[in-house]
Structure 1
C-alpha cells in the first residue's frame, strides 16, 4: 500500500506523482502531504499544485458520482429498517443550520476531510454546484495556507539551526 513512507523513499517524478496520489486519498489529503513534500526538498509550487489537484479531483469524482452511489446504497438498504439516532441527527442539523455549506467546506480538512464533508453536504441535500464551488475554495485556501506555513516554517527552522 502506498503511504507516507513511500513518499519519503521516492525521488524525482515518482515523488511528485505520489504527492498527487496521496492528496487524493481520503484522510491523508493535502494537510498531511504538503509539509513532508516540501521538507523533502520538492518544489513548493509543484507540491501545492499537485496536492490541490489530487484532492480536488477525488472530491469532484465523489460529488458527480453521488447519484450512482446513492442508488446503490438505497438498493442495499431495501428491506432494512433504519432509524438514525435522533440525538446525533439533531447535532448534525444544528451544525449545518448554524454554519451551512461554507462552514462545513472551510473546516472540513481539519475535522472530517474534504471527501467525507462533500458526502455529508450531498446527504443533507445540497446541490452539486455549490458543493463543488465551496469545496474548491476551501481546498485552495488550505493549500495556500499549508504550503506557505510549511515553506516558511522550514526556512525558519533552517535559519535557527545554522
Structure 2
C-alpha cells in the first residue's frame, strides 16, 4: 500500500504467478487510494501542522513540480506519475487537495495502477532470473 514497487518485488520473492502479483499490487495501491481519498483533506491538514512544527518549507522543489504537473495535466498526470515517482498515498492526497472528484481519482488511479503494476511486475519477473544468475 505504501511503496508501489514493493508489490512486484514481494510477489517475485514469494514465487507468486505474474497475474496474481499484478492483481495484488493493484489491490494494494487501490486500497491506499480508497482510504486516502476519503481522509485526504484531513490528512493534508495534519501534515501541514506537522510541517509547520518542524519548520520545513512548504514550497520545496518537489512541491513545485507536483503543482506544475497538476496545472499541465490535472488528475491524469498525477495518476500517471503516482506509482513511479509519488507514493499512492501522496498521489491520492494531492489529487484530493486540488479538488479532483473522488470518482475521477478512483478511475485514473485504477488505470495507472494496472498499467504500472503490469509493467513493473514484468520488469521484475524478467530480470529476477538475470539477477539470480549474477549471484
TM-score range relative to shorter protein: 0.7 to 0.9
Report runs of 4+ in structure 1 exceeding 4 Å deviation: 87-92, 158-161
TM-score using structure 1 length: 0.62
Q: Which of 120, 125, 128 is the aligned partner of 1:151? A: 125
Aligned-pair CA distance for 1:90: 6.2
**Which is bigger in relative contact order (C-alpha 8 A, separation at least 6)?**
2
Between Structure 1 and Structure 2, how many residues are aligned? 126
Segments of structure 2 that go 5 or more residues without pairing to the other structure are 53-57
Q: CA RMSD in A?
A: 3.3
Deviations 1:44-90 (A, max 9, x none): 222221121122112111112336x26x948x96xx9xxx65x9876
5+ long unaligned stretches in structure 1:
1-23
CA deviation profile, 1:125-158 (whole Å, cap 9, x unmatched):
1111111111111111111101112222234x28
Residue 91 of structure 1 deviates from its aligned partner by 5.3
Are 1:55 and 2:29 counterparts? yes
Structure 1 or 2, whichever has the larger Rg, is: 1
